[in-house]
């Protein structure tokens, strides 16, 4: 007979999901009510307001899609891309490739702008792509590339799209809550994120926001969105905020309790303070890693504080090390993806999990296992270097 499942207590320092606070887990366990209950409708309004705060936008069409970040991505593409549309897609990691997939499945034409994995999106290459394809309707790119630990210049890229008469679709799955995101100031037309990264909520919900230009494009469509579930004109009948809401789907009620609580925590801390905390812990981790003798895969100017891409030393068994971390320390870090598979580790410092305890724990665990594997590192210096940063 199968019995109840009780997971181990892990420390999650991979690319997501991240550690979830007791407050958020407690919210998840509150009594379930109906998805059209007046109390739940009030909660929906508060979630929209809190998401507008997190995205730094006044966009009315801001809501949580009832599915993970990949569905938020798809929601943006299926609502904005029509058959035959040219979309300039920037790829400097795994998730630009997923954007390409979405464009093509919508019947669009993906014009690829490729940069090396570990480098930001090149403005010059995007400019050149618009020169070659002046009829491009949309520019799509990733703000914080989870596969490499690199951030790109959203403000400059969106300004370029506007100058060329194109809309922008931006992936903020790993950036929201961890580094600056300013939808209105940067002129972003559509942006999507996920709850399991720097928002420190459970997986399964994708916040999205659409600006006025994007809404106008959705309303001007001459044929139905290919996805009934993700059609924003239908979804807004439920999330629109009017006194009478149209049933669309049964929302993940308890997950939305958890999202609400995580956003309340972000509001309490303040965006600037949250960003500074991620930055401070990142600097301490990097100081420790470099003192140990490990290198970083991304130039300091473009590194994500919440997702640290670390070069694997020669002679180290990547899989064996990560397995030992999990089995002996209950510590999860991420493997490299795509072109960086077997070359890097991805160490997350996201949301609630971005704290001094996790930095110290990770450095000590890495040092212990690297020494056992005979890696050419300098033992005993990592913690001293990290603590020097924490003391500042």
Distance, CA of 55 to CA of 65 (rounded, Å): 15
Domains held by the chain: number: 2
> 380: domain range?
271-390
Question: What's the pLDDT at 246?
Answer: 85
132 and 65 inside one domain = yes
In a domain, 59, yes or no: yes
Q: Which residues of the chain have pLDDT under 50?
A: none
Question: What's the pLDDT at 240?
Answer: 81
Length of the chain: 392
Question: What's the pLDDT at 209?
Answer: 98
Question: What's the pLDDT at 242?
Answer: 59
Distance, CA of 22 to CA of 220 (rounded, Å): 45
34 and 171 inside one domain = yes
Question: What's the pLDDT at 281?
Answer: 98
232 and 286 inside one domain = no
Of 268, 293, 318, which residue sits at a domain end?
Answer: 268
Q: What is the pLDDT of residues 97-129, one digit of tens each?
A: 999 999 999 999 999 999 999 999 999 999 999
Of 210, 243, 268, which residue sits at a domain end?
Answer: 268
CA neighbor of 183 nearest in space, from 48, 53, 50: 53
Question: What's the pLDDT at 245?
Answer: 83
In a domain, 101, yes or no: yes
In a domain, 359, yes or no: yes
- The CATH number covering residue 140 comes to 3.40.640.10
| CB-facing half-sphere around the CA of 134: CA atoms within 13 A | 1
196 and 125 inside one domain = yes
199 and 127 inside one domain = yes
276 and 256 inside one domain = no
Distance, CA of 191 to CA of 35 (rounded, Å): 25
310 and 296 inside one domain = yes
In a domain, 315, yes or no: yes
The residues with which 12 forms a beta bridge, in sequence order, are: 332
| CB-facing half-sphere around the CA of 4: CA atoms within 13 A | 1
Question: What's the pLDDT at 244?
Answer: 74
Name, in order, each residue with C-beta under 8 angstroms of 164's C-beta and a sequence gap of 6 or more: 130, 134, 136, 139
- The CATH number covering residue 340 comes to 3.90.1150.10
316 and 243 inside one domain = no
Structure tokens at 325: 């971390």
261 and 332 inside one domain = no
386 and 252 inside one domain = no
Do residues 208 and 177 make contact, with C-beta atoms less than 8 angstroms apart? Answer: no
pTM: 0.97
How would you list the strands of the sheet with 307-311, edge to edge? 307-311, 344-348, 334-335
Distance, CA of 57 to CA of 214 (rounded, Å): 14
Distance, CA of 184 to CA of 239 (rounded, Å): 21
């Amino acid at each position: 007979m199968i019995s109840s499942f009780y997971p181990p207590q892990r420390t999650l320092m991979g690319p997501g999901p991240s550690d979830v606070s007791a407050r958020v887990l407690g919210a998840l366990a509150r009594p379930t009510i109906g998805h059209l209950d007046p109390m739940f409708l009030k909660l929906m309004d508060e979630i929209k307001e809190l998401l507008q705060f997190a995205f730094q936008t006044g966009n009315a069409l801001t809501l949580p899609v009832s599915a993970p970040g990949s569905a938020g991505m798809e929601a943006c593409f299926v609502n904005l891309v029509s058959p035959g549309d040219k979309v300039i897609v920037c790829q400097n990691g795994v998730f630009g490739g997923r954007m390409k997939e979405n464009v093509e499945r919508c019947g669009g034409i993906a014009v690829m702008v490729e940069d090396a994995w570990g480098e930001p999106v090149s403005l010059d290459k995007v400019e050149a792509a618009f020169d070659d394809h002046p009829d491009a309707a949309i520019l799509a790119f990733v703000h914080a590339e989870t596969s490499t630990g690199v951030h790109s210049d959203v403000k400059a890229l969106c300004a370029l799209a506007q100058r060329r008469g194109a809309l922008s679709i931006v992936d903020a799955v790993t950036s929201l809550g961890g580094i600056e995101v300013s939808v209105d100031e940067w002129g972003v037309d559509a942006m999507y994120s996920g709850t399991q990264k720097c928002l420190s909520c459970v997986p399964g919900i994708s916040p999205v926001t659409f600006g006025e230009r994007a809404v106008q494009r959705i309303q001007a469509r001459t044929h139905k969105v290919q996805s009934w579930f993700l059609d924003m004109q239908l979804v807004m009948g439920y999330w629109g905020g009017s006194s009478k809401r149209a049933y669309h789907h049964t929302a993940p009620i308890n997950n939305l309790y958890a999202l609400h609580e995580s956003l309340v925590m972000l509001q309490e801390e303040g965006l600037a303070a949250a960003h500074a905390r991620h930055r401070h812990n990142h600097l301490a981790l990097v100081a420790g890693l470099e003192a140990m003798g490990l290198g970083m895969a991304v130039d300091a100017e473009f590194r994500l504080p919440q997702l640290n891409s670390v070069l694997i030393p020669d002679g180290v068994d990547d899989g064996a090390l990560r397995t030992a971390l999990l089995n002996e320390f209950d510590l999860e870090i991420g493997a490299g993806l795509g072109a960086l598979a077997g070359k890097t580790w991805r160490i997350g410092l996201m949301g609630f999990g971005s704290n001094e305890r996790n930095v110290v724990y990770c450095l000590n665990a890495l040092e212990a296992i690297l020494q056992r594997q005979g890696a050419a590192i300098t033992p005993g210096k990592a913690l001293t270097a990290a603590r020097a940063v924490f003391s500042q």
